[in-house]
Structure 1
Amino acid sequence: MPLTHDQQAEIDETRAETRQTLRATSEGMEAHLYRAHPVLDHGFVRVIDYMGDDAAITQAARVSYGRGTKSVQNDEGLIRYLMRHWHSTPFEMCEVKLHVKLPVFVARQWIRHRTANVNEYSARYSILDREFYTPAPEQLAAQSKQNNQGRGTVLEGEEAARVLELLKSGADRAYDSYEAMLDQGDQQGLARELARMALPASIYTQWYWKVDLHNLFHFLRLRADPHAQYEIRVYAEAISACVADWVPLAWGAFEEYRLGGATLSASALDCVRRMLKGEEVTQETSGMSKREWGEFREVIG
């Protein structure tokens, strides 16, 4: 379970507290505040705090004194214009702080996005729990033959059982060694900052991750993509659900122009224009490599 009974009780108690405020609030995001959205087998995503809403984006774009226009239609049109023309600063006026529990190997992939403020649970000061990510059977896949950083066919039968047992037993043995080395009780063992070296990358860690909406959209564009690794993609999908309720107008524009859109190179755009004129364009006459031509054909269907 992602949360213990005591942790859930603490969340319920916090959610029961209400405070009056003059700042802009988002009803959609208020519903997500503090709630833990389960991800994978032991992980979660939890909204701790946020700043701004759709009106904050348009307010910053217009540099107005109040909340901007009262017309939702005008605000939506402006937000779509900003997104369409890659104006990023107004989206930086919104921020969100998340509490995330995730496997270490996912955290190491996630931290490559160097556009957020992060504070991670410290294994130098605290002892990590015996919680490891164990893939579901449908996620046990072989290495892709075409993609060096992707998955191929799903393992089945005895091979799947063998790999699953290796993952589980290896993690348990590593944690047993970790516990045996710790300086605790009557045992003068190893310092926690050294003992943690024995822990596997599948163990869970936690952090607070604070990011503005512009950089969050960039993160989601990459990590919510169907080609992203499953274990980080499910976190991106959980965050996406929160963002869609927080800033629905900005999310709609993001879906339209980023998630659902495509960027064409100068050569690709030239090919489209030639095709519209009735010219038959091939990979040989396109000026593109075979791989780029294949990607182009996939985009235009």
Structure 2
Amino acid sequence: MPLSPEQTAEIEELRSTPQPTLRATVPGMEAHLYKAHDVLDHGFVRVIDYMGDDAAICQAARVSYGKGTKSVQNDTGLIRYLMRHWHSTPFEMCEIKLHVKLPVFVARQWIRHRTANVNEYSARYSILDREFYIPAPEHINAQSTVNNQGRGGLLEGEEAARVLEYLKADSTRAYDHYEEMISQDGQDGLARELARMNLPANIYTQWYWKVDLHNLFHFLRLRADAHAQYEIRVYAEEICKIVADWVPAAYGAFEDYRLGGANLSATAIDCIRRIVKGEVVTQETSGMSKGEWREFEGVIG
């Protein structure tokens, strides 16, 4: 189970004793509070706390820009204007705190986004659970032949079976040795802070992750993208659902301008203008490298 019995009891207690508040609340987020959303085989994402809503973004923008926003007729229009013109500070007025359980190798990717506050479960003080991420057969892929940091086609047959067996056996053996090393049954036992070095990168860790909406959108733009690694992408996709219930107008603008939009270079825009005029443009005549041209073709279809 993703949640421990202790965590489940804590959640049930917190949800059973709601407190009145004068601060802005969002019904969709109130429903998410403390509820764990399962991700991968043992992971989850759950909302611990949040601050602000769509109205908070608009309030901050109107304080910042004053009469310059009077031409925007409604909050949704203002939010779309802010997103369209890359105004970031109004979105920083909203914050969210998440409790995330994730494999260590996913955490190492995630922590590269250095714009959040993080507190991780400490294996110096506590003993990590015997829980490992083992990918489903449909996510066992070969190395991509066109992308040095991506997946290619599925592994099949004996090779796929052998890989899965290695992952399971190596994880189990490493944890067995971890338990043996820290055991104080008939021995002093190795310090936990040393024993943890032998654990595999697919073991699960947990952390609290607090971030403002502007930086969260940056995280989601990269990690919810189809080119992101599957194991972090599914976390980003789950967070997207939560954010859509929290700030629907802001998320709608983000989905339109960031997730569904594209940034084009001056060279790419020039190529589009030439194509619209009826010119046949190829990679050789575009002024782009092969990689740029491949990405450009992906955008224009």
Query: Which TM-score applies when normalising by structure 2?
Result: 0.95
> Cα 1:204–1:73, aligned 2, differ >3 Å: closer, same or farther?
farther
Task: Using the TM superposition, name which of 171-180 and 283-292 deviates more.
Answer: 283-292
Cα shift at 1:281: 2.1
Cα shift at 1:102: 0.3
Aligned equivalents of 2:295, 2:163: Cα separation in 1: 34
Task: Report 1:30-109 matches (<5 A).
Answer: 30-63=30-63, 74-109=74-109
Percent of pairs identical after alignment?
80
Q: After TM superposition, where is structure 1 displaced by more than 6 Å over at least 4 residues in a row?
A: none
Cα shift at 1:185: 4.5
Aligned equivalents of 1:175, 1:284: Cα separation in 2: 54
Equivalenced residue count is 295
Work out whether residues 37 and 45 of structure 1, in 8 Å CA contact, stay in contact via their aligned partners in 2: yes
Task: Report 1:82-161 matches (<5 A).
Answer: 82-161=82-161
Aligned equivalents of 1:20, 1:246: Cα separation in 2: 19
Residue identity opposite 2:201 in structure 1: A
Work out whether residues 141 and 155 of structure 1, in 8 Å CA contact, stay in contact via their aligned partners in 2: yes
Aligned equivalents of 1:73, 1:49: Cα separation in 2: 31
Aligned equivalents of 1:88, 1:29: Cα separation in 2: 22
Any idea what SS the aligned residue of 1:134 has? coil
Cα shift at 1:234: 0.5
1:177 corresponds in structure 2 to 177
Any idea what SS the aligned residue of 1:225 has? coil
Cα deviation code 1:265-294 (max 9, x no counterpart): 001111112222222222222211122122
Aligned equivalents of 2:171, 2:283: Cα separation in 1: 49
**Structure 2: unaligned runs, 5 residues or longer:** none
Residue identity opposite 2:98 in structure 1: L
Task: Report 1:218-229 matches (<5 A).
Answer: 218-229=218-229
Residue identity opposite 1:161 in structure 2: A
Cα shift at 1:9: 2.7
**Structure 1: unaligned runs, 5 residues or longer:** none
Cα shift at 1:186: 4.4
Work out whether residues 39 and 45 of structure 1, in 8 Å CA contact, stay in contact via their aligned partners in 2: yes
Aligned equivalents of 2:297, 2:161: Cα separation in 1: 39
Residue identity opposite 1:160 in structure 2: A
Aligned equivalents of 1:243, 1:187: Cα separation in 2: 50
Task: Using the TM superposition, name which of 14-23 and 38-47 deviates more.
Answer: 14-23
Task: Using the TM superposition, name which of 75-84 and 275-284 deviates more.
Answer: 275-284
Aligned equivalents of 1:175, 1:88: Cα separation in 2: 45
Aligned equivalents of 2:200, 2:104: Cα separation in 1: 8
Is the counterpart of residue 274 in structure 1 residue 265 in structure 2? no
Work out whether residues 183 and 192 of structure 1, in 8 Å CA contact, stay in contact via their aligned partners in 2: no
Aligned equivalents of 1:145, 1:276: Cα separation in 2: 33
Task: Report 1:218-297 matches (<5 A).
Answer: 218-297=218-297
1:215 corresponds in structure 2 to 215
Any idea what SS the aligned residue of 1:125 has? coil
Any idea what SS the aligned residue of 2:45 has? strand
C-alpha RMSD of matched pairs (Å): 1.6
Aligned equivalents of 2:257, 2:108: Cα separation in 1: 29
Task: Using the TM superposition, name which of 19-28 and 213-222 deviates more.
Answer: 19-28
> Cα 1:121–1:143, aligned 2, differ >3 Å: closer, same or farther?
same
Task: Using the TM superposition, name which of 108-117 and 284-293 deviates more.
Answer: 284-293
Work out whether residues 119 and 208 of structure 1, in 8 Å CA contact, stay in contact via their aligned partners in 2: yes
Aligned equivalents of 1:152, 1:275: Cα separation in 2: 32
Cα shift at 1:187: 2.5
Any idea what SS the aligned residue of 1:31 has? helix
2:192 corresponds in structure 1 to 192
Cα deviation code 1:170-211 (max 9, x no counterpart): 011101111111153542011110010110001000000000
Aligned equivalents of 1:11, 1:156: Cα separation in 2: 42
Residue identity opposite 2:204 in structure 1: Y
Cα deviation code 1:210-243 (max 9, x no counterpart): 0000000000000001111010000001111100
